[in-house]
Structure 1
């Protein structure tokens, strides 16, 4: 009824159509994906992950079978040198050294200047 064939569009035609609509798809070489909910973690080991960018909006597709783990009350530390305010520790150290103040004072100045290094140093001098 809809034309004979393999039940769908040719993958290369589909990709060409998506490009014309401004949609890019990239395969990511992910080793692990963790989805945390309030009660559990879904851990995908060696999943197939695709990132689709449609006019600046990114969507991720994860294919695999997750291992389900109950959540303990603790959240593991993410690999980051930033504090809760999002200001990198390196910036705090730099401002503290340049202005000759404590790291706490440097962090306060960076918070007050929305992370602007020059403005924070000027504020402290």
Structure 2
């Protein structure tokens, strides 16, 4: 918003210009990064803006960076716990990359 601008007037102006905005209720937003890992936004404020047929999302909140587990870590958990790659990755993600904890959880010990 612009400082000193009444929010109702701002909405009216945006509508006249063909810009639609809608606040979306979300509990978490996850962005998968091409180089691996992800950005997770907790307690986000999400606004969807539609202009000229294109939708844009504005996201703000508490950002946490999650790194993907390395190949060696995944293999170690797979071999030690006797589980699939996906199960090993999920366990490592849930334990914040703690290999020992991931194995213990998967074995149910």
Fold conserved (TM > 0.5)?
yes
Report the equivalent of 1:69: 66
**Is residue 31 of structure 2 the alignment partner of residue 40 of structure 1?**
no
**Is residue 1 of structure 2 the alignment partner of residue 8 of structure 1?**
no
Report the equivalent of 1:119: none
TM norm structure 1: 0.50
Higher relative contact order (CA 8 A, sep 6+): 2
Bigger helix fraction: 2
TM norm structure 2: 0.57
CA RMSD of aligned residues (A): 2.2
Aligned length: 70
Please tell me whether Structure 1 or Structure 2 has the larger radius of gyration of its CA atoms. Answer: 1
Q: Deviations over 1:50-72 (max 9, x none)?
A: 00011211000001011111023
Structure 2: 5+ residue stretches without partners: 75-85, 87-109
Structure 1: 5+ residue stretches without partners: 1-5, 77-125
Moved segments of 4+, more than 2 Å? none
Bigger strand fraction: 2
